[in-house]
Amino acid sequence: MTPSSPDCTDTPPSSAVVEARHLVKRYGDVDVLRDVSLSVAEGTVTTIIGASGSGKSTLLRCMNLLERPQQGQLTIADESMRFTAQGPRSGHTDMPLSRHQLQRLRAKVAMVFQQFNLWPHMTVLGNVSEPPVRVKGVSRRKANALAMHYLERVGMAERADAYPAFLSGGQQQRVAIARALAMEPQILLFDEPTSALDPERVNEVLGVIRGLADEGRTMLMVTHEMAFARDVSDQIVFLDRGVVGAAGSPERIFEQSDNERCRRFIAPAA
């Protein structure tokens, strides 16, 4: 299996960091994603919205192959692949990529999780410098400098020596964002970054994300913060039971969507 198939005629324009086509993902016989296509241009923010269980997290997790789609094509951070229903396992992974390509892809696609997922046995500094050291082979000294730079960026530099257990949720999530930034990725993935936070902690995290959007970073985000999504996004994708119900600019989606279910989903927030 080669990563880029010759019959992939509709190659994405070079400005697209993500180009997903006809992705299908099922668990057993539950179709979670049914034919999802999506494209994210470089330097733009795309937000995925939709009801609980509509497949938002699954779609996001397909982007760095934490989940493996059964069908479709994906180009992300200059890596292209085509998925087919699970054939015989090839080599070490059941992915249409070698272990090396998979690692290279993941190094360029950094994810921020709802539950932060910091490593509790490492300090804040350790958490942020560990991935560059382990995955990119950066020296510990350089990685620490890099980590301090991005901790500064999220306002957590003074807590560099603390362990995650001593931080508030908002602080932990800011560290997790610094961890993602320290990989200097081409694209940032956020899966409901504020859903696990106390209400009074939400804004400090949203503020950091907004700053990143203003810097022109490419981001793909899942959130239930509708006002925020409308504010920072260049594109909104409404996911509905595993298909894209509507996609377009925030104005279009929030004000004049022709998708009935999308309008109803938006209504309470508008």
Ligand X SMILES: Nc1ncnc2c1ncn2[C@@H]1O[C@H](COP(=O)(O)OP(=O)(O)OP(=O)(O)O)[C@@H](O)[C@H]1O
Binding site for Mg ion (CB under 5 A): 57
Interaction partner, residue 165 (Mg ion, ligand X, other proteins, none; CB < 5-8 Å by kind): other proteins
Q: Which is nearer to other proteins, 143 or 226 (CB)?
A: 143
Interaction partner, residue 250 (Mg ion, other proteins, ligand X, none; CB < 5-8 Å by kind): none
Q: Which residues make beta-bridge pairs with 48?
A: 222, 237
Asked if residue 240 binds other proteins (CB under 8 A), the reply is: no
Contacts with ligand X by CB under 6 A lie at: 27, 30, 32, 50, 52-58
Among 21, 25, 106, 230, which residue interacts with other proteins (rule: CB under 8 A)? 106
Q: Which is nearer to other proteins, 105 or 202 (CB)?
A: 105
Residue count of the chain, please give it.
Answer: 270
Asked if residue 196 binds other proteins (CB under 8 A), the reply is: no
Asked if residue 135 binds other proteins (CB under 8 A), the reply is: yes
Indicate the pairing of strand 71-76 with strand 187-191: unpaired
Task: Tell me, letter by letter, the H, E, C secondary structure of the chain.
Answer: CCCCCCCCCCCCCCCEEEEEEEEEEEECCEEEEEEEEEEEECCCEEEEECCCCCCHHHHHHHHCCCCCCCEEEEEECCEEEEECCCCCCECCECCCCCHHHHHHHHHHEEEECCCCCCCCCCCHHHHHHHHHHHHHCCCHHHHHHHHHHHHHHCCCHHHCCCCHHHCCHHHHHHHHHHHHHCCCCCEEEEECCCCCCCHHHHHHHHHHHHHHHHCCCCEEEECCCHHHHHHHCCEEEEEECCEEEEEECHHHHHHCCCCHHHHHHHCCCC
Residue 159 CA to residue 166 CA, distance in Å, equals 10
Q: Which residues make beta-bridge pairs with 49?
A: 238
Interaction partner, residue 244 (Mg ion, ligand X, other proteins, none; CB < 5-8 Å by kind): none
Interaction partner, residue 52 (ligand X, other proteins, Mg ion, none; CB < 5-8 Å by kind): ligand X
Residue 58 CA to residue 106 CA, distance in Å, equals 16
Residue keyed to tokens 């804040």: 124
Interaction partner, residue 99 (ligand X, other proteins, Mg ion, none; CB < 5-8 Å by kind): other proteins
Asked if residue 103 binds other proteins (CB under 8 A), the reply is: yes
**Considering the complex, what minimum distance in angstroms separates the CB of residue 224 from ligand X?**
7
Q: Which is nearer to Mg ion, 27 or 87 (CB)?
A: 27
Among 87, 88, 120, 137, which residue interacts with other proteins (rule: CB under 8 A)? 120
Asked if residue 123 binds other proteins (CB under 8 A), the reply is: yes
Among 183, 209, 213, 232, which residue interacts with other proteins (rule: CB under 8 A)? 183
Asked if residue 111 binds other proteins (CB under 8 A), the reply is: yes
Interaction partner, residue 103 (Mg ion, other proteins, ligand X, none; CB < 5-8 Å by kind): other proteins
Residues of this chain that interact with other proteins (CB under 8 A) are 64, 66, 99, 102-107, 110-111, 113, 115, 117-123, 126, 130-131, 134-135, 163-165, 179, 183
